[in-house]
């Protein structure tokens, strides 16, 4: 199967495959759209089963970034990159420096940042070979790790969702199951939820991080696969994508799915399946846009925390409008969000072509 026939290919403008024998780099960069500006999206560093899995992730994630950025009303396009984690020992600094060279060949069509498995320190390595990088820990307009802002946006989105599902934004006493709780975003989110009075049920493959959160927040720890079976009010996926699928959806015992993970629905029809079960779904690329908003503040060259907070306010409003429209139209919220995002992108393409 070629890239053009791939089921996740969505008329991407560019897909770059980059290798470097010296460092073991195997990377895929997907540029979905530059209609509103350069494609911006993080780099994911992961142990993929094979290159097909890596390609599928790059294509889905880059499309999601286009939708995320346009829904957040940012003057940037959407892209994403993945690096297949080498087997055995490797020089991390050299690997990410080589990745920077690959990014640089696109001449600014794509600007990279952190994602799962990547840190601000890795972005410093990328910066050695390209200027098209953000999420740096130092510099005049450095924004640093975007995870705290992503978590704040998701926390706000959970409250918006709770208001629709339970009649109040108050999370006191709500049982919330958090998948990927020990990750960069998940841990910050858990702290927000705990401070709001929620009762946490958490899981992660990072056992030391999980134990730390258990002790700090008094959370209940469950095995990774058991998170789907918890009797809870809200399920917050904050790990990898495609976790709402045929063999998990029937196990959910919640009223809301709202979390930080990208591409939570394995297929678009899972949104309708959630709706049938009376489960409210907060479209992931809307609720988790806080990080890219933070990054945009750095790209602008004049990072302003007040501007970031204003954009987070806008995310709350947008999510509320999507959920209200989905209810009034009797349609799945993910399809409502997709329709809005595609219309905005088509408008941007038309304006660019004019």
User: What is the set of active-site residues?
Assistant: 80
Dist CA 89 CA 48 (whole Å): 16
Tokens read off for 225: 């696969």
Q: Where are the beta strands (DSSP E) in the chain?
A: 14-20, 25-33, 39-46, 77-84, 110-114, 175-179, 199-203, 220-221, 234-237, 256-257, 280-281
What's 244's DSSP letter?
B
Cβ–Cβ < 8 Å for 292, 262: no
Name, in order, each residue with C-beta under 8 angstroms of 115's C-beta and a sequence gap of 6 or more. Answer: 41, 42, 43, 44, 45, 61, 80
Tokens read off for 187: 């841990």
Dist CA 137 CA 285 (whole Å): 25
What's 272's DSSP letter?
H
Dist CA 74 CA 296 (whole Å): 8
Q: Where are the beta strands (DSSP E) in 261-314?
A: 280-281
Helix axes 305-329, 147-166, angle to 10 degrees: 30
Cα 57 from chain centroid (whole Å): 12
Residues making up the chain, counted from first to last: 354
DSSP secondary structure of 118-172: --HHHHHHHHTT-S-B---SSSTT-----HHHHHHHHHHHHHHHHHHHHS-S--T
Name, in order, each residue with C-beta under 8 angstroms of 259's C-beta and a sequence gap of 6 or more. Answer: 154, 178, 179, 180, 235, 236, 237, 238, 282, 284, 287, 288
């Amino acid at each position: 199967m070629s890239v053009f026939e791939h089921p996740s290919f969505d008329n991407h403008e560019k897909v770059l495959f980059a290798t470097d024998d010296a460092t073991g780099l195997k990377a895929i960069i997907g540029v979905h759209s530059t209609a509103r500006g350069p494609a911006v999206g993080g780099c994911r560093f992961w142990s993929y089963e094979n290159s097909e899995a890596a390609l599928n992730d790059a294509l889905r994630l880059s499309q999601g970034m286009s939708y995320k950025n346009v829904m957040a009303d940012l003057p940037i396009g959407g892209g994403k990159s993945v690096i297949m984690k080498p087997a055995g020992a490797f020089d991390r600094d050299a690997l990410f420096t080589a990745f920077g060279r690959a990014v640089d060949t696109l001449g600014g069509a794509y600007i990279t940042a952190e994602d799962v498995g990547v840190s601000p320190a890795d972005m410093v390595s990328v910066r050695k070979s390209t200027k098209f990088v953000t999420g740096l820990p130092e510099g005049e307009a450095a924004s640093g790790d975007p995870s705290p802002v992503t978590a704040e946006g998701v926390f706000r989105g959970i409250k918006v969702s709770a208001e629709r599902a339970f009649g109040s934004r108050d999370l006191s006493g709500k049982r919330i199951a958090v998948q990927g709780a020990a990750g960069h975003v998940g841990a910050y989110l858990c702290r927000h939820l705990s401070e709001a009075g929620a009762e946490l049920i958490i899981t992660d493959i990072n056992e030391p991080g999980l134990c730390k959160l258990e002790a700090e927040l008094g959370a209940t720890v469950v095995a990774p696969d058991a998170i789907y079976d918890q009797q809870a009010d809200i399920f917050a996926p904050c790990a990898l994508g495609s976790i709402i699928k045929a063999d998990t959806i029937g196990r959910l015992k919640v009223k809301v799915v709202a979390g930080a993970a990208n591409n939570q629905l394995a297929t678009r029809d899972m949104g309708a399946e959630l709706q049938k079960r009376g489960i409210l779904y907060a479209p992931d690329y809307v609720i988790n846009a806080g990080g890219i908003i933070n990054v945009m503040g750095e790209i602008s060259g004049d990072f302003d925390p007040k501007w970031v907070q204003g954009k987070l306010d806008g995310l709350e409003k947008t999510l509320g409008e999507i959920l209200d429209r989905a209810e009034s139209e009797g349609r799945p919220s993910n399809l409502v969000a997709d329709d809005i995002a595609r219309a905005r992108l088509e408008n941007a393409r038309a304006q660019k072509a004019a």
